[in-house]
Amino acid sequence: MPRVHAGKLLAHAACATPMLLIVHAIWRQSLGPDPVAQLEHELGRWALRLLLAALAVTPLRRLSGIHALLQYRRMLGLWAFAYASAHLAVYLGLDLGGYWAQVFGEIAKRPYITVGFLAWLLLVPLAATSTRAAMRRLGRRWGQLHRMVYAIGVLAVLHFVWVVKSGKNLARLEPLVYGALLALLLLARVPWRRIAAAAGERIARLSGSRGTAVRDPMQ
Amino acid sequence: MRKPPNPSLSENLVTPEPAWLRRREFLGAAAAALATAAGAGCAQATPDAAADAGGPTGRVLAGVRKGAHGSDEPLTSWRDITTYNNYYEFGTGKDDPARAAIGFQAEPWTVTVAGHAELTGRYALEDLLKPHALEERIYRMRCVEAWSMVIPWVGIPLRDLIARLKPTSRAKYVAFTTLHAPERMPGQRYPALDWPYREGLRIDEATHPLALLAVGLYGRALPNQNGAPLRLVVPWKYGYKGIKGIVRIEFTERQPDTSWNQAAPDEYGFYSNVNPDVSHPRWSQATERRISGGFSLAPSRVPTLPFNGYADQVASLYAGMDLRTNH
């Protein structure tokens, strides 16, 4: 019998909390004069935050050496997918309402909707292959497939940047902060050591073949 | 231990039950009497039952006549109109102005009239408004962010004021400027826009019967967050053309600079007429979310109409113009 994992239970509770607060705000009718927009924005924000949290797991594991962190990655990713799906459902069902013709026009013509929709669409196969069985079945290709999460992060940030009104207001800063965090996480995943090692090898090989050139002080 | 019954309370001191049951009627009547007294004194905001329910508060404007421009669409609630504002002078969040403008003193207020007109100079707001009768106009307000409200404004037709100021033949445009006072408008301490906020209309737009200078809404003095004490309402244009806290009206020969147009020229044109066929570069303008008061998660999207539904009255102003290039 699987024992109850206190850490995981706590993490699930933490991930569910924003959703519960949002449901509570609906119940209390405290979402303001434009509740649908507010609902959309909150769900979208949490989808992006959880996506970034999932992306932070591997770098944090390497930095801290705590390998147990890895077991939270799938959970964070799936919660991000849940919030993103709710975000999309609210947009389609509550915001656009019956204006379905506009949906297709919007997805095709509006870059912010196109990239947002694409980000969600690309999350679907990742969520679908998040089981252990799928991992085993896909083998090496599982890792390749799931590296797509970085592209999804870029699309999600772009979606946020584009949806915010222009002008020099503080609201514009928020998507840029997420963008900076994403850039940091991307940089952390670049295999710097391997690149450095490869470069070193290459230099050594080059200097080996043209040894005289290096040794010649006149060059 | 049991307490003995209070000997000082005798049977005849107890309120008879029928009267007790009617106590709410009595309290209601008393409250109504108080409210009437306050209304007759016609002075300060009374924290009354309406305020508790989020209803209209503030000074009641006297002698407001119903204008010809009504609407049978449900009005947006006072609460929504006064808590969901784009007024960057008091913060860039929609709920910022309602909080940050609480202490703002909109009286006394002076308006400078300048440029190509005979009666230029500095006017106390009362003097500027005195000869005009206040009227109520129910207009749709369409924000460029694709939401809309239905608002019962109180104000004077802009054309009547302009006629009194006697613009000369060189007056081709009217430029408006908002108060610039960072110590009173905290949002101006940050360069969210190039302060002060400026807007403008072509003179024939400004003298169109629909253009309104508003001083109130729901029969009450204009709340600070809605642009007290004086703002522009141009119902066939996007909301940002409705400049708030006006301190300067200038008649110009050349098209004036306007704030959002300067901030993002490809996104916000000078004319800014509501047009479902001209999309914002990033958003569709084909439909809008109607904020109609009351909490509802039910879809409230309605089609956006050309000139915000006022085409029959204003479209002729733009005859022969390409409304795509002149967006």
Peptide bond connecting B303 to the previous residue in cis, omega within 30 degrees of 0: no
pLDDT at A106 over 90: no
In DSSP terms, B289 is beta-bridged to: B147, B301
Neighbouring CB atoms inside 10 A of A62's CB total: 13
Q: Is the dihedral of CA A129, A135, A136, A140 positive or negative?
A: positive
What pTM value is reported for the model? 0.80
What angle is formed at CA B123 by the lines to CA B122 and CA B125, rounded to 5 degrees? 140
Does the domain made of A6-215 have the CATH classification 1.20.120? yes
- Per-residue pLDDT averaged across B44-71, rounded? 72
For range A184-208, the mean pLDDT: 84
- The count of structural domains within chain B is 1
Question: CB-based contact (8 Å) between A100 and chain B?
Answer: no
Instruction: List pLDDT tens digits, range A110-122.
Output: 788 889 999 999 9
Assembly ipTM: 0.76
- Closest to B296 measured CA to CA, from A35, A150, A62: A35
Asked if the Cβ–Cβ distance from B260 to A110 is below 8 Å, we say no
Q: Are strands B301-303 and B287-290 parallel, antiparallel or unpaired?
A: antiparallel
Residue B65 belongs to some domain of the structure: yes
Note whether residue B245 is domain-resident: yes
Residue B62 belongs to some domain of the structure? yes
Task: Spell out the domain ranges in chain A.
Answer: 6-215
CB contact under 8 A, B300 and A36: yes
CATH code for the domain of B113: 3.90.420.10
- Assess if residue B324 is contained within a domain: no
A26: chain B residues, CB-CB within 8 Å: 297
Residue B290: left if φ>0, alpha if ψ -120 to 50, beta else—which one? beta
Distance from CA of B113 to the nearest CA of A (A): 29
B26 phi and psi angles, rounded to 5 deg: -60, -50
Answer whether residue B146 is part of any domain. Answer: yes
B284, B288, B296, B304: best mutation site toward chain A, by most A Cβ within 10 Å? B284
Q: What is the pLDDT of residues B175-205, one digit of tens each?
A: 999 999 999 999 999 888 999 999 999 999 9
**Looking at CA atoms only, how far is residue B178 from chain A in angstroms?**
18
Mean residue pLDDT of chain B comes to 85
Structural domain that includes position B175? 54-318
- Examine residue B27 and state whether it is found in any structural domain, yes or no: no
- pLDDT > 70? residue B14: no
> Which one of B295, B302, B304 would you mutate to disrupt binding with A, by most A Cβ within 10 Å of its Cβ?
B295
Inter-chain residue contact B79 with A33, CB threshold 8 Å: yes
B98: closest CA among B58, B125, B61, B126? Answer: B58
CB of B313 less than 8 A from some CB of A? no
Alpha helices in B84-157 (DSSP H): 96-100, 125-129
